Structure 1
Amino acid sequence: MMAIDRFYADLSAFENFDLIAEPGRFSSVPADWVVVITDIRNSTGAISDGRYKEVNLVGASCITAALNAVSPLVGKGDIAASFLPFVFGGDGATILCPGSVFPSVRDALIGVAVLTRAEFGFDLRIGAVPVTALREKGADVAVAKLRLSPGNDIAMIGGGGAKLADGLIKSPTALEDGYCIPVPDDAPPADLTGLSCRWEPLKAQNGVTFCVIVQALASEVDARQKVFGDLLREISAILGGDVRKASPVSPGAMIFKWIPKGLRMEARLTRAGQPFWRRWLYLLYQSFVQYLLERFDLSAGGYDAPSYRAELQANSDFRRYDDVLRLVLDCRKDQASAIETHLKELRKTRAVAYGLHAADHALMTCLLFNLEQGEHIHFVDGGMGGFTLAAVEFKRQLKET
């Protein structure tokens, strides 16, 4: 079996999110790589029906399935997340993969589509565009690596290629052009080992959970990065000097109850062909043990409750970038208003397109690799629709440009 390309694994990581504004931080991916994008068709309708957690869980499932598909190719002691760049999108994901493993990633995502159609009735769109095709159209695909903590990195994607790929995959001719992947009815379900959905919604500690989506509209990469750099400095100043202070994942917001609200959804997606009741009973037992460990700050079986909570805060991706800046902030209402005012001023000059959404809580979906080694990532979205509803105004503004 062919070993996976080490391009991303060998890339140097940085710890300051604001450095995404420096074009030199990004490295072009190899020419044989593929941009893969998934999203739920009519996710806005699902959100209007109150199915926020299900939507987020499917988005995280796409990443989980892709990582599990390539896991057999990585070396002993490594994790697949060190080799496969990904960005969580709320109702889907953007994944960059070497061409050699693309068939495995594609089949895994088809398995997610089949599973989520059967369990939730969702229509998951899967699209893929070769990096060479994007470069022929004048866009690059470049990646940088943000280190959340030792052993836990998340990808930042720049160059304009991911945004172009998103448009090609969602175009009316995407299927005829070969960018949209059809989903057969008889494909086997995906392996979603590691997917977890147990923490209560993260109640805003400062007043409001504020989702921000921004795309810089300049044609040149350097000009776009300058817009993002200036914007991040302004947002940091509004928030008191450090965006990290506005993370929705804070000690006061983290609550673990038994029975977790998302446990049934987790059982439905991770049962791997076994009867639902059997998986459900196992997760009931497992989550009860976790509840006791959390309740009394205990440690057992590689799970150390105090350490895990501290790691969880560090390993939460409330800041993302894939040609589009996405932030989930726990801030005061006046700070949210100041951010909105600044974006309105930028919009007047056609410097950006943006979308916003406010709620009183955030949602978190977890992906666990190795608890003993502290290797786990946590995807954060705003409650009550979060990024999906913020994208409504964002897309409207993009159509005006």
Structure 2
Amino acid sequence: MPSDDFYLELKSFAKLSALGELAAYEPVPTDWVVLVADIVRSGEAVKAGRYKQVNLVGAAVISAVLNKLGRDRIPFIFGGDGAVLLVPARDAQAGADALAGVADMAARDMDLELRHAAIPVAHLRAQGTDVRLRKYALSPGNFLAMAVGGGLELADRILKDPALQAPFRIERPVHAAPLLEGLSCRWDPVPSRRGRIVSLILRPSADLYLSSILAEIQEATGFNPLSEAPEDALVQPTELKFRLRPSSLAQEIRLLAAAQGLVPSAVRVVLQSFGFLWGYMTGLRIGPFEAKRYLDELSRNTDHRKLDDSLRLVLDLSPAQLDALTRYLAQAYDAGRLVYGLHVSDAALMTCFVTDIADGRHIHFIDGGDGGLSMAGADYKRRAAQRAGA
């Protein structure tokens, strides 16, 4: 297949239980580029109560690049306080410009510093790692990239080390307005039904341990973290509450205004929001929007389980299941089988990216409340440092 069409033509898989089938992961073309970004000192922003802004900027990274380059061709993984995307060589500059535009917007409008870099896959392979992908089908037309090989973990280390990052740093162009069409955050936090929302980052000491670790988690907790049963979906349509708050609308308007202008953005956001609210409350079809169908699709189209060398999960667990999970993780860590980070909250947050509501093409980025994945990442970093110093 042509290099540019690698992800577009990559065969998808529909059963998340096949996540650990390592032989099925395909090498990313060597001439591709990893675009990686995260918010500097995101933990401080979270502690200041700005976790929704942190999530919004992380999702904006994906929205800006996909709106510029096309949704079906570009693999992406949301990380809570950042994101990673992989782009063909010919799209690397356009993707980097889109990423730089988000960094400019984050600094100017939200006082958040987004570090970002464009790292060739060839460089990651030269360092002894690899980047291999699979494409998980959430529903028709909606896919999540899953990655193994250690390359994305190395890209993250390069991003966070100023000396290593220097050759790959993306310069910020002046007035580079990102295209953030379809990005929104209009839902209330999703409360836990079982008791606790658990944000977990887990890295097996070897990729081949992934399937056995997942099986052991299920045995220890009585809960299958890869279950695709509707009753186990993290987001249940009956639990969702649409919010129409001035602060949220203002934030969304600011995101769009740089590229579309303030007044057109405000009119569009307000009309869309009230139209959505009317359809949501009455059940009536509003243009292409049918509330019941959309909410059923939304429940399936969440990214709360993903793999980017580390397994990133946002789970709804009972207190007893959480206790069993923490005991298992501690034992597996002490045995040298994995490194992990964990954060517990009462609710999950959702940021939406809608490209075609009529065709059911929408993805919903999930994070645990109170900085879930970001705080789990800090916990992971602490344990990884302990392991390295042992």
SS of 1:266's equivalent in the other structure is helix
Query: Given the two structures, how large is their TM-score scaled by the length of structure 2?
Result: 0.94
**Contact 1:246-1:331 within 8 A present in 2 as well:** no
Do 2:78 and 2:84's aligned partners in 1 also have CA atoms closer than 8 Å?
A: yes
Is the Cα–Cα contact under 8 Å of residues 39 and 126 in structure 1 kept in the other structure?
yes
- 1:201 maps to 189
Q: Would you say the 8 A contact 1:4–1:100 is kept in 2?
A: no
Asked if the contact 1:210–1:382 (Cα under 8 Å) also holds between the matched residues in 2, the reply is yes
TM-score, normalised to structure 1's length? 0.91
Q: What whole-Å deviation, never above 9, does each CA across 1:120-148 have from its counterpart, x for those lacking one? A: 01111111211111111111111000000
Q: How does 1:260-271 map to 2 (within 5 A)?
A: 262-271=248-257
Aligned-pair distance for 1:362? 0.4
Task: Extract unaligned runs of 5+ from structure 1.
Answer: 72-79, 219-223
- Tell me how large the CA RMSD over aligned residues is: 1.7
Secondary structure of the residue that 1:299 maps to in structure 2? coil
Question: What's the counterpart of residue 378 of structure 2?
Answer: 392
Is 2:172 aligned against 1:183?
A: yes
Task: After superposing the two structures, state which structure 1 stretch, 248-257 or 359-368, moved more.
Answer: 248-257
Corresponding position of 1:234: 216
User: Compared with structure 1, are the counterparts of its residues 240 and 351 closer, same or farther at alpha carbon in structure 2 (3 Å cutoff)?
Assistant: closer
* Greater fraction of residues in helix: 2
Identity within the alignment, %:
38
Residue 108 of structure 1 corresponds to 98
Q: How does 1:2-401 map to 2 (within 5 A)?
A: 5-71=4-70, 80=71, 82-176=72-166, 178-184=167-173, 186-218=174-206, 224-226=207-209, 228-237=210-219, 238-241=221-224, 243-244=227-228, 245-259=231-245, 262-273=248-259, 276=262, 279-400=265-386, 401=388
User: Within 2, Cα distance between the matches of 1:111 and 1:62?
Assistant: 9
Aligned residues: 382
Whole-Å separation in 1 of the counterparts to 2:165 and 2:150: 22
Deviates more, 1:20-29 or 1:239-248: 239-248
User: Do the aligned partners of 2:74 and 2:86 also contact (CA within 8 Å) in 1?
Assistant: yes
For the Cα contact (< 8 Å) 1:212–1:327, is it kept in 2?
yes
Query: Whole-Å Cα distance in 1 between the matches of residues 208 and 252 of structure 2?
Result: 38
- Per-residue CA deviations over 1:205-226 (Å, capped at 9, x if unaligned) read 11111111001123xxxxx232
CA distance in 1, matches of 2:183, 2:246: 14
Quick one: which amino acid aligns to residue 202 of structure 2? V
Cα pair distance change 1:274/1:99, threshold 3 Å: closer
Partner of 1:75: none
Contact 2:65–2:95 (CA under 8 A) maintained in structure 1: yes
For residues 336 and 64 of structure 1, the distance between their equivalents in structure 2, rounded to whole angstroms, comes to 33
The residue identity in structure 1 corresponding to 2:168 is: Y
Structure 2 SS opposite 1:129: strand
Q: Deviations over 1:352-372 (max 9, x none)?
A: 111111111100001111111
Offset of residue 150 of structure 1:
0.7
CA distance in 1, matches of 2:112, 2:245: 25
Deviation string, structure 1 residues 242-268 (Cα, Å, up to 9, x no partner): 534543211232111333763222111
Q: CA deviation at 1:16?
A: 1.8
Q: Which runs of 5+ in 2 are unaligned?
A: none
8 Å CA contact 1:13–1:145 kept in 2: the answer is: yes
Measured after TM superposition, the shift of residue 285 of structure 1 is 2.5
Q: Distance in 1 between matches of 2:127 and 2:244?
A: 52
Distance 2:169 2:239 in 1: 39
In structure 2, do the counterparts of structure 1 residues 309 and 260 end up closer, same or farther at CA, with 3 Å as the change threshold? farther
C-alpha distance in structure 1 between counterparts of 2:384 and 2:169, whole Å: 22
Q: Give, in whole Å, the separation in 2 of the partners of 1:309 and 1:251.
A: 5
Q: Partner letter of residue 151 of structure 2?
A: G
Aligned residue type for 1:24: A
SS at match of 1:199: coil
User: Residue 276 of structure 1: CA displacement?
Assistant: 3.7
Q: Secondary structure at the match of 1:144?
A: strand
SS at match of 1:243: coil
Q: Which amino acid aligns with 1:181?
A: I
